[in-house]
Chain A
């Protein structure tokens, strides 16, 4: 990987990190309605996967979506406004944080029904194959979602039809308050790929470069007509399931241990060591990103609420 590409992944992760940290702060201050679910600590998955995609490639996201959306190029202002429930948000306040769709960047659907996005990606990949569009579809889901029937049906059919689909299992150790070993017997979700005769790959989900490389390879397979790949990214969520979760079931030393393995700092260090950036440039970049995040909050807060009757619109095409 070129240092330039690495820098782009780093930059993308930094934006996600600051965006999520800001939301933690806003939630603590009671500024944001509803349940807010963050991907702090998991930035390398979003950045690495989306960094390997083209604009026409489709992503389908889950409840932990902010990173996926930002990495796919969605506008932080419009995401933040949607999280606030404002009329200027991506979906006019109808979806909120949990269901943001940004078709502008082919982030077609965020579903908070666990496992709900996996069959949809079979459909988008089918359309891409049907239209010979030369693009691929990616679905993000958690380790918990791999226990749903939808996961198994989807992988089977995608493999059977050689669809250009990439299944990204973001294994952050937990599914709600359950640890992986309390919800499945397998050690690696990736091993389930064997049952559907597709490649199943395990990568370090805190290493954006490793995630990127695995995705590039899977994408090439898709485009060569060789069918789907299941990629399991081993990572960890630093925060609770949602911001109102006090993490009583997450051992403190476990959190600390994973925070040591910060994906953002990892790439920053590599870029500094390679001499591609200087400390000064890191500070400048951080400044720029902080400003962008502050701007998204300002945009959201200054935006008007939707009119109550707007609720009646957008039901049918």
Chain B
């Protein structure tokens, strides 16, 4: 086991896959020479190792970065392209939403698009709403894409390797809040299957379904709730699309209570999908209403006290859990 951050785990997965498979290449803004050349960043050192033929710094041109991946992948390359911040996904989205997600279907299953779009996400770094806007529910609303959003460095490494080896377009979302904290990551070459959620902590009373950075928030609630005799089960979704319904339903059937926790805003957020799943397929098991703990329906504000207000925290989660345990 090594102790590395998610940024380093991503860099490790990228370099190992590039060594393993010469058809893998990368493109993006500042992925080779960036303005923040830190060993904790996910593309650190890759230009030095693989050279400018495989690590392509691009102009500020998101539409063609995404199109490059679509076109290169249909001819058998395995592009891994980067969207610098999640809001800029919108500039790349024509190629991703209207093309990457649909062209296999439109070919009647004849063509494949083995590409990965890595997106840096998450609020909490004081850059405001044009740099912080988690749009994973948008991506998950596009059949034909796979949407992965790891919450630990170890998962990031294994899932990114699976994403690169997958024959479909995978949207791989990295919360920048996880880039800087070392956690244990296996050193060997391993993959984690896309589409499989992970029970990160078994528990008796309430299922908390979450993903990405909010996994850490869920863990912060464990201790305080235990003092009140409440034992939560934490299900880390890891993949939003395709959704691992079985793991969610098994947990809800066991605990009888469900809280969904995500950083993105509430209305139209992916939490609604989880709540609907429980209502449709585990209604008989539910002992209390399903609760969502999310950001409010506002853009991410800049000012520190406002941004803090925006981000869901463990206090809100604890309150929601206590509310439904009482009910």
- A interface, CB within 8 angstroms of B: 33-35, 85-87, 92-99, 111-116, 144-145, 147-149, 175-178, 182-184, 240-242, 244-245, 248-249, 305-312, 315
- Taking A93-B302, A305-B303 as contacts, is the C-beta distance between A98 and B127 under 8 angstroms? yes
Please pick, from B33, B127, B303, B309, the residue contacting A309 in the complex, using a CB distance under 8 A: B309
Distance of A144 Cα from B306 Cα, bound (Å)? 31
A-B residue pairs in contact (CB < 8 Å), sample of 16? A33-B126, A33-B303, A93-B305, A94-B301, A96-B303, A99-B129, A111-B130, A112-B131, A116-B130, A148-B62, A176-B30, A178-B57, A183-B59, A305-B305, A312-B296, A315-B298
- B interface, CB within 8 angstroms of A: 29-30, 33-37, 57-64, 87-88, 91, 125-131, 296-299, 301-306, 308-310
Inter-chain contact A96/B59, CB cutoff 8 Å = no
Identify the interface centre among B58, B63, B131: most chain A CB within 10 Å of its CB. Answer: B131
Distance of A305 Cα from B308 Cα, bound (Å)? 12
Inter-chain contact B302/A147, CB cutoff 8 Å = no
Inter-chain contact B130/A85, CB cutoff 8 Å = no
Inter-chain contact B61/A34, CB cutoff 8 Å = no
Interface contacts beyond A115-B60, A176-B35, A310-B306: sample of 9 additional A-B pairs, CB < 8 Å, sorted by A: A33-B303, A86-B303, A94-B303, A175-B60, A177-B30, A248-B37, A305-B303, A309-B309, A311-B301
Distance of A305 Cα from B306 Cα, bound (Å)? 9
Chain A residues within 8 Å of B128, by CB: 34, 94-96, 98-99, 112
Distance of A41 Cα from B62 Cα, bound (Å)? 29
Inter-chain contact B59/A311, CB cutoff 8 Å = no
Does more than half of chain B's interface fall in helix, strand or loop, or is it mixed? loop
Distance of A97 Cα from B127 Cα, bound (Å)? 9
Inter-chain contact B306/A147, CB cutoff 8 Å = no
- Taking A34-B125, A96-B126 as contacts, is the C-beta distance between A308 and B29 under 8 angstroms? no
CB nearest to B130 among chain A residues:
A112
Closest 7 CB pairs of A and B: A34-B126, A96-B302, A93-B303, A85-B303, A147-B59, A308-B309, A183-B59
Chain A residues within 8 Å of B59, by CB: 144, 147, 175, 178, 183-184
